[in-house]
Chain A
Amino acid sequence: MCSLGVFPAPVTAAQTLFERNNELLSALHPGEHSQACDLPSPQFTRDTLKGHSRPESSSRSVFLDQRDTLWMRSAGAWRDAGLYGLLDEITNSAEEVPRFLAVGSACVLALLRWASSFHGSLFPHLTLSSDEMVAEFSQMLDWSDSALRSFAWHPHTDKFAVALLDDSIKIYKSNSSPTPTLKHRCQRSVCALQWKPLCGSALAVACQSCLLIWHVDPASLSTRPSSGCAQVLSHPGHSPITSIAWSPTGSLLVSASPVDTSMMVWDVAAESAVPLQRVGGGGVTYLSWSPDGSRLLAATPSALFRVWETRMWTCERWPCLKGSCQSACWSPDGGCLLLSMQGERVIYALTFSDLTGINNTYSSPVTACQLLLILKGFSSLSALLNISVGGEVCSLSWDPRGERLAVLLKGRADNHPSVIAVFKTRSSPVFELLPCGFVMGEAGAEPRFMQFHPHFQHGALLTVCWSDGRISHVPFYFSSAGLLGGDSPQQALASNTTNPSSNKLYTEQIS
């Protein structure tokens, strides 16, 4: 149990710049300079981006109402809204059709509505529209309102991809080379992005209707790669896609949709998919592959999540205590999984017994699911501003060395903003969590999404997407555990070079 009051409150409400000497320093801190790293931090405002305003089917309201023949209207309804639309159209135009047809279609319609409401009462998320569903299950907080839709660091180089409100994706690199903009006809309502590991160019994009794999040549100077560079992967009934995960070796891609009870395992080069179906839960919302590639977490919209073992693809069911699994992150060695549940201020930990490929037994890998931490209470940030923070945990992120854990706490109405709390973690000899501090943005900006840089040299680097459309980077300068006393970034760098295991390739961890 941990009270947020223990956290060292920032002195001022200004933007947090970086951590040094175990202190989070802010912009107004005396004697500190501005931004320490040379990564691009672009800002996008809602005004400059124009999203596609509304789905095509509702553009009818713009035009004058025109009376067609019944056949034309029925065909149009069938095309736009399927069987429902057709039945609705027939029922509505009762004076033009024979009486038995109108009555029959009304009955069928009522029956269908009753059945779907029954189905929807079992799985409430099925009643949402496609956009609402994406907004509900996206890792980006306030997805529908935000100028930024998704964000992803490249696992090996200093470049990241940002999905924007206008359904385009921009790719930024550390040096000021041109920033390619990716647009595609099928690229609507981007919910997740992920770069392919061990590959320089492939970016997977989870869209509303399909899955796009962009091949963006890093050496090319073009700012608008043609849509021929994108592979479109789609499967009937598998949309909207809300989560994707590459295997750490980059050989397989898994995609999930809250509507589809099966998740798809794609062989991207061959464009073939293997569905893995488990009916319970009513869909799959979130996927996360463990860094060593041996396990895969699949969360469902119900109070249930599964941990798949990726050798023979069998799974374990974990009926949760309360609410669905909202977010999760794996420890860097793949032995521990942290989970947060919807509507709870609790982080759970799932510990897996360490197993190597020697005996190949996967009988009972999980030893315990324990309550790790309860984030109780509120902390009043600043007496001057009268702001207090604290709330349900909606996103978790662990840095690749396993030393900092960032927790995004959801806010409420006024004077109660969302905030990122950062913990120091240590896994040996015993698992420890120590409060480190709050990461603050500029005045009025709330964090929406965060991700750690996969291979930052001098410690950890947290990238945060803010509600005002800014992307900022917060470095944490520290030396690895066991080598205490490295205070300056230079010393941290020196201690890092003596410890080459810090940024291992995934494959080395496997073997």
Chain B
Amino acid sequence: MPVTSAVFVLLSRFSLFHPIQWISGEETSTIVLITGLFNLEFYTLVPSIPCSRMALLGTVLHPRQCVHSLVYCTMGMLVMWCASVTIGGRYSTLGIPCRQSESGEVVTCLNEYHLFLLLAGAFMGYSHSFLGVVQNMYYVSFQPIQQYKYPRFKGCLPMVLKCSVIQSLYSARNFAALYFFFGYVPKTWISSTLHLQIDSSLQPLDSLTGLLDFSLLYHLSISGTFLYFTWYLTVLLFRIYVTEAYSFPVQSTFTEDAEQCLPKVLAETNTLVMKFLALQDLALLSQHSLSRRLEVFSLSQPGGHPHNWNAISRECMSLLSELTQRLLAHQDAVASNGRVKSQSASIDTRSASSSSSEDVAETPRLSVPLRTPGSVFTSSVGGVHSEPRSPWFGTVQSPHIMRRGPKLWMSSSVAGEKGSSRFSVIPLHGLETPVNSCSCHTLNCSAQVKSFLAKRVLIVYLFNKLPEASSQALFADSQAHIWALQGLSHLVAASFSEDQFGVVQTTLPSILSCLVVLLEAVDRHFKLPHASSKPVRTVCSMVPSLLAQFLEFKE
């Protein structure tokens, strides 16, 4: 990484082999490296989808995000300082000697060009950090196909270059406009604190003629391109590095390696990226590798238990049934439409009213439901949705779910009396939350609060739910489920010819019922009003399940 950017600096500047260039080049590369390390915490495998504009605002104003923006501003300024030093000429230093017009003596004046570039760096840093949150730039998505690292990097490079050029032109335009209107503020502040004179003989930059300086704009966009390019390059390299397929051993003969085996890693919950990689590896091995599939179907040597298959199938099925339950909870929330609407609205209004309705910005407690849902290295899949931040939270406690449970799980409710049911009646995470007790209170006072707040256009605008957002949030981490489904169904399909000991046979009924129930839930989800317009990723989850069923029927 330092090498790349150092090379880039040397090539992009006018290839003067000047010592100062080396220094600044090295400095830039270290900055980029620091950026990469700093960002590590912000990368996420699950895109954050804010459910209302308020939530988005809350995310942007979150302290963590503020620190991030601040660091980016500083780094942008540093890189721009390096760039201005490298360009040299009239940009090199903040103070330049100039001649006072009346007295004729030489004093140090403020170099507005230098200041302009520094401020542009800060602005670009902030806008990069801001757009990164709004456009989910730190979401690391896995590709549908496998490629080697180098061809993938080569293929992405032109796109990164194009993106950084366009982004730099946009922010150069925005910054020029901003500087035109507010440029005098930092200028006077800097000149008063550092006791620099303002050279009156030069054209001030916050005027129309000053800004229409072609060479200034050119240098601004060139260095902006460089700045964005290094940042995007970090993101790109990190993505490629993280999403590279890793092949876990299915079983190992030594006990010290047992922690790195596929069944163990699948069950891991505290490192999300490991779980994702393991699931990806499972999906790949189930399709492509005969020898590793045989290992999955094999029996343990003393005892003859199918530990590998049991662990893998249990993990996949728990993932899938978790998705099913999530979908059912969401459907119940939407199905009982009128009632839920008043309730969720009342919760929103309550949070607004509790913090003195004027101050919109200070209500992030409930409506910052989605700060970045968890960094790659720290959080878990289940954790995202089991906390009371999910969009359907607050509606789950409605009695509909209690009625619905036995209705949908007919078989289990019949069997449940004997206590031998395979499916426990849906343990929903919302049930134990304390909101239940508050809800009656809020229902009482909600009417007048609502009528009061409904008149404020701004609040209605901010708290209105974005369409489809809740549906998208529901499927935010669906990549894991897709892999689990693919791996499971391909393994079952392969077991027809490859499973010598019949280990799959014992779990086949539960796998099939799990898939069918999930299919039913997904079908029902797409019939909901707000869910149908964009077929979210799970459509492709139906295919392998169909495939498995199809193969079953042939038997």
Chain A partners chain B? yes
Interface assignment of B543: CB less than 8 Å from any CB of chain A = yes
Taking a contact as CB atoms under 8 Å apart, the answer to whether B146 and A251 are in contact is no
Taking a contact as CB atoms under 8 Å apart, the answer to whether B288 and A505 are in contact is no
Most buried by B among A251, A252, A311, A505: A251
Please tell me the number of chain B residues within 8 Å of chain A, measured between CB atoms.
32
- Cβ of A508: which chain B residues have Cβ within 8 Å of it? 496-497
- Cβ of A357: which chain B residues have Cβ within 8 Å of it? 288-291
What's the nearest-Cβ distance from chain B to residue A432, in Å?
Answer: 30
Taking a contact as CB atoms under 8 Å apart, the answer to whether A277 and B155 are in contact is yes
Q: How many A-B residue pairs have CB under 8 A?
A: 77
Taking a contact as CB atoms under 8 Å apart, the answer to whether A314 and B144 are in contact is no
- Cβ of B287: which chain A residues have Cβ within 8 Å of it? 249, 510
Q: Give CA–CA (A494, B287) in the complex, Å.
A: 34
Taking a contact as CB atoms under 8 Å apart, the answer to whether A511 and B497 are in contact is yes
What's the nearest-Cβ distance from chain B to residue A356, in Å?
Answer: 7
Taking a contact as CB atoms under 8 Å apart, the answer to whether A274 and B290 are in contact is no
Chain A 471-511 per-residue mask, 1 if CB under 8 angstroms from chain B, else 0: 00000000000000000000000000000000001011011
Which residue in B145, B155, B540, B554 is a CB contact (below 8 Å) of A270?
Answer: B540
Which residue in A198, A251, A269, A275 is a CB contact (below 8 Å) of B537?
Answer: A269
Q: Give CA–CA (A19, B66) in the complex, Å.
A: 77
- Cβ of B535: which chain A residues have Cβ within 8 Å of it? 231, 269
Scan residues 276-292 of chain B and give those whose CB is less than 8 A from a CB of chain A: 287-291
Q: Give CA–CA (A199, B550) in the complex, Å.
A: 10
| Secondary structure class of chain A's binding surface, majority of residues | loop
Interface assignment of A70: CB less than 8 Å from any CB of chain B = no
Q: Give CA–CA (A311, B143) in the complex, Å.
A: 13
Taking a contact as CB atoms under 8 Å apart, the answer to whether B540 and A314 are in contact is no
What's the nearest-Cβ distance from chain B to residue A500, in Å?
Answer: 10
| Secondary structure class of chain B's binding surface, majority of residues | helix
Please tell me the number of chain A residues within 8 Å of chain B, measured between CB atoms.
32
Interface assignment of A434: CB less than 8 Å from any CB of chain B = no
- Cβ of B539: which chain A residues have Cβ within 8 Å of it? 268-269
Taking a contact as CB atoms under 8 Å apart, the answer to whether A265 and B290 are in contact is no
- Cβ of A360: which chain B residues have Cβ within 8 Å of it? 288-289
Q: Give CA–CA (A272, B372) in the complex, Å.
A: 23
Interface assignment of B493: CB less than 8 Å from any CB of chain A = yes
Interface assignment of A72: CB less than 8 Å from any CB of chain B = no
What's the nearest-Cβ distance from chain B to residue A371, in Å?
Answer: 33
- Cβ of A270: which chain B residues have Cβ within 8 Å of it? 144, 537, 540
- Cβ of B108: which chain A residues have Cβ within 8 Å of it? none
Taking a contact as CB atoms under 8 Å apart, the answer to whether B493 and A511 are in contact is yes
Q: Give CA–CA (A297, B539) in the complex, Å.
A: 28
Taking a contact as CB atoms under 8 Å apart, the answer to whether A507 and B543 are in contact is no
Interface assignment of B148: CB less than 8 Å from any CB of chain A = yes
- Cβ of B143: which chain A residues have Cβ within 8 Å of it? 274
Taking a contact as CB atoms under 8 Å apart, the answer to whether A358 and B290 are in contact is yes
What's the nearest-Cβ distance from chain B to residue A79, in Å?
Answer: 21
Chain A 242-265 per-residue mask, 1 if CB under 8 angstroms from chain B, else 0: 000000011110000000001001
Most buried by A among B538, B546, B547, B554: B547
A-B contact pairs, 12 of them (CB 8 A): A198-B543, A250-B543, A251-B144, A265-B145, A269-B539, A275-B155, A311-B146, A312-B147, A313-B145, A314-B151, A357-B291, A511-B494
B residues neighboring A (CB under 8 Å): 141, 143-148, 151, 155, 287-291, 493-494, 496-498, 535-541, 543, 546-547, 550-551, 554
6 closest cross-chain pairs (CB), A and B: A269-B540, A267-B144, A269-B539, A511-B494, A357-B290, A270-B537
